[in-house]
Amino acid sequence: MANPPKQAHLVAAGKFHDIDFARLELLKLLAEDPSIRTTVAMDYSNTERLAQCDLLITYTCDLAPDDKEIAALRSFVEGGGRWLALHGTNALLKFLDDGRIGVDNSRNEFMDILGTQFLAHPPIGPFQVEVSDPEHPLTRGIEPFQVVDELYLFEQRAPIKPLLHARFSGNCAPFAAADWPETDNPVLYLRELGQGAVLYNSLGHCRSHYDTSPAKPFVPHPERCAWNYPVYYQLLRRGIRWAAGRSL
């Protein structure tokens, strides 16, 4: 029996990342299920379309919805929508006069919906990802793996269920939240809200030569990080199936 059709909305936009690459890869994964019909946006403004959708996927960085859009996001999730939030969706940055990178705290309700807010990451490098819940359908059969990526460090803003985590201690300069004791940090987690839920996967940094930042005006070697690993695509496929209400 054919799958019932599902309506999806993809928001792919923001700073300091190769959004074109991530957008194309996500669209190719969505196209593997021909019953998913997808619209694409560069911000959160199309709240009418969101209200018509079953699933939302976001790959953003430093992209803040306004109050109306935040209310629409909450209504979407609480009403039963599923949101696959990727990498920098919870990262709103503030560049401080002393050269450090802080966070913008003006969108607290947005972070409350997501369940976390980005604070810092160490330099790109290898780290071990452990399975927090090996019996969950989203992680069943996934073995611990090493990946080269940005290890996002969060402030928890709501109850979450970690599915994958990575242990870290050390310094994250130039971020204002620079010093971190040894802790387990969620890499993949579920945040239930009303009748719906958010699935957050913090992996997936990517950058081309020209995705500039104040610290790196030119990137000599494009960065693909977790996108180089089959396990990341396995997690993305499972995340899309979860968001569409398909069996895992």
**Looking at the 3D structure of the chain, how many domains does it have?**
1
Element (H, E) at 57: strand 55-61
The reply to whether 41 falls in a domain is: yes
Mind listing the pLDDT tens digit for each residue in 154-210?
Answer: 999 999 999 999 999 999 999 999 999 999 999 999 999 999 999 999 999 999 988
Higher pLDDT, 118 or 247: 118
Average pLDDT over residues 63-90: 98
Alpha-helical (H) ranges within the chain are: 19-30, 47-51, 67-78, 108-114, 230-243
The reply to whether 1 falls in a domain is: no
Lowest mean pLDDT among 190-204, 206-220, 225-239: 206-220
Mind listing the pLDDT tens digit for each residue in 123-163?
Answer: 999 999 999 999 999 999 999 999 999 999 999 999 999 99
Residue 219 is part of a domain; what is its CATH number? Answer: 3.40.50.880
Which amino acid belongs to residue 227?
W
The reply to whether 184 falls in a domain is: yes
* Tally of CA atoms within 13 A in the half-sphere of 24 that contains its CB: 6
241: nearest Cα among 207, 199, 206, 205: 199
Whole-number pLDDT of residue 219 = 76
The reply to whether 248 falls in a domain is: no
For the residues of 164-230, what is the DSSP string, one character each?
EEEEEEEE-TTBSS-EEEEEEEEEEEEEEETTEEEEEE-----B-TT---SS-S--SS-B-GGGG-H
Does the structure show a pLDDT above 90 at 211? no
Whole-number pLDDT of residue 131 = 98
Query: How many angstroms separate the CA atoms of 221 and 208, rounded?
Result: 7
In total, the chain counts a number of residues equal to 248
Whole-number pLDDT of residue 238 = 98
Q: For residue 36, give Cα distances in angstroms to 22, 55, 77, 165, 239.
A: 18, 9, 18, 30, 14
Whole-number pLDDT of residue 210 = 84
Tokens of 81: 């929508």
The reply to whether 17 falls in a domain is: yes
Whole-number pLDDT of residue 216 = 67
Q: Are residues 110 and 70 in contact, defined by beta-carbon separation less than 8 angstroms?
A: yes
Average pLDDT over residues 96-103: 94
Tokens of 83: 């949101």
Q: Which residue range is the domain that position 213 belongs to? A: 6-243
Pair type for strands 125-131 and 145-149: antiparallel
Share of the chain above pLDDT 90, in %: 92
Whole-number pLDDT of residue 213 = 64
The reply to whether 212 falls in a domain is: yes
Average pLDDT over residues 207-215: 78
The reply to whether 229 falls in a domain is: yes
Average pLDDT over residues 6-27: 97
Whole-number pLDDT of residue 196 = 98
> In this structure, what are the phi and psi dihedrals at residue 12, rounded to the nearest 5 degrees?
-130, 110
49: nearest Cα among 22, 69, 23, 63: 69
Tokens of 166: 């990575």
Whole-number pLDDT of residue 220 = 83
Does the structure show a pLDDT above 80 at 1? no
Q: Are residues 174 and 216 in contact, defined by beta-carbon separation less than 8 angstroms?
A: no
The reply to whether 73 falls in a domain is: yes
